[in-house]
Each structure stands twice: as structure tokens, then as C-alpha cells.
Structure 1
């Protein structure tokens, strides 16, 4: 048995929950917490040794969300409100999209989403731009 496999076998009990598809909400919550912790460690350093694990967890979380939390039908404002609720975000938590006051106006129907807003939202939430049309 090579050294890498031997180490994997010795630590599998600790690692396997992070590499398994969630079967229920509790498994999903565990993965989300682990992903949040990893992101605190890794930050935006794409060359960090744990970035592969971040991507793996992100894929598992995204797949579970897409399957178990379908997007409601509606307009861009409804989609934005839904995504903010699902991710526990406030109006000030989307500075890459717009200021808090602009997000407020969008949510209250006083302003429409523009292309820049939609681009920021698609990047933030990893969804199709069609979500907001």
C-alpha cells in the first residue's frame, strides 16, 4: 500500500463526511458550515492547497440546493429576494451588486435590475442571468 493511500485510510473517518453527497438537511448544513470554515481559511487565494476541497464542497452544496430548493417563478426582484433569504443576506451584504439603498429600491419595486446588477448577482450566486428576467 502506498503512503498516500495509507494516510487516506487512516484519516478517512474525518474526511469522508466532507466528500459525500448530503442525504438530508443535517448533512447539507454540515457541508455548508465546513465550506464557510474553509473559505475563512482560504480566502480568495486560488493557489491555496485547500482550494480543491473548497470547490468540491461548493459543488456538493450547489447540487443539493438546486435539487432541494427550487427557484420560485417570478421576476428578478422575486429571485433576488429569494436568494437573499436563502443565503441569509441583508441589503448591505451585496456591495458587488449595488449599494444598500439601490438594493432596497429594487426589492421595493421602485427600480429595475440593470445589466450590471444582474452580472454581479449571477457571479455572487452562481446562477444563470435568466433567473432575473
Structure 2
């Protein structure tokens, strides 16, 4: 047996709870808590020795979310309404879309967002342009 496998075997009881894909909500919650703790510890350091563990757990959590908590399909206008609410914005706070009346027409479905407006909104809210398409 290699020295690496011997080390893993010696420490397996301690790391095994973190190295299992979630099979239920309890497993998922445990991994999310561990991921939060790891991210606090690792911070922005992409070269941190624990970054590989962050990546593994992050992928498992994301896969669980996609399978068990899929994002609802929303239109670009619904996304815009949500973002405006979250940011406490009114129609006049979106000059890159147009005047307040233009924003009102977009929100009511009378007018569609054009590419320039979508790009502006994506930059304004720091989201992907696909959010509004």
C-alpha cells in the first residue's frame, strides 16, 4: 500500500463525512455548512490547499440544487421586476433602459427589451445578459 493511501486510511474517519455526495437533505445541509465554513477560511485565495475540497463540495451542492431545487423559468421582465424590488428601485432609476414611460411599457409587456437595454441592465445588476433574454 502506498504512503498516500495509508495516510488517507488513517484519517478517513475524520474526512469521510465531507467526501460523500449528498443522499438526502441532512447530507446536503451538512455539506452546505461545511462549504460555508471552508469559504470563510479559504477566502479569495485560489491557491489555498483546501481549494480542491471547496471545488468538490461546491460541485456536489450545485448538482443537488439543480436536481432538487431547480430554478423557476422566468422571463426577462420578471427578472427585471425582481431585481428592481431587491434593489429598491423605481422605473426612473433605470435611465439605461429609457424614460420612465419606456420602462413602464417594458414592465407591462407592451415593449420588449432591445440588445442595448439588455446589455445595460446586465452591467447595472452584475448579471449575465441571458437573465433578460
Give the conservation status (yes or no) of the 8 Å contact 2:42–2:50: yes
Unmatched runs of 5 consecutive residues or more in structure 2 = 98-117
Greater Cα radius of gyration, structure 1 or 2: 2
TM-score of the two chains, using structure 1 as the length reference: 0.65
User: 1:50 matched to which residue of 2?
Assistant: 50
In structure 2, the residue matched to 1:27 is 27
> Unpaired segments of 5 or more residues in structure 1?
85-90, 92-102, 123-128
TM (normalized to structure 2)? 0.65
Equivalent-residue separation in structure 2 for 1:115 and 1:22 (angstroms): 34
* 3-state secondary structure, aligned to 1:45: coil
Which consecutive aligned stretches of 4+ in structure 1 deviate over 4 angstroms post-superposition? 76-82, 110-113
Superposition CA RMSD, Å: 2.9
User: How many residue pairs end up in the alignment?
Assistant: 106
Contact 2:76-2:132 within 8 A present in 1 as well: yes
The one-character-per-residue Cα deviations of 1:63-112 (angstroms, maximum 9, x if unpaired) are 00011001112234655899x9xxxxxx5xxxxxxxxxxx2227x9x857
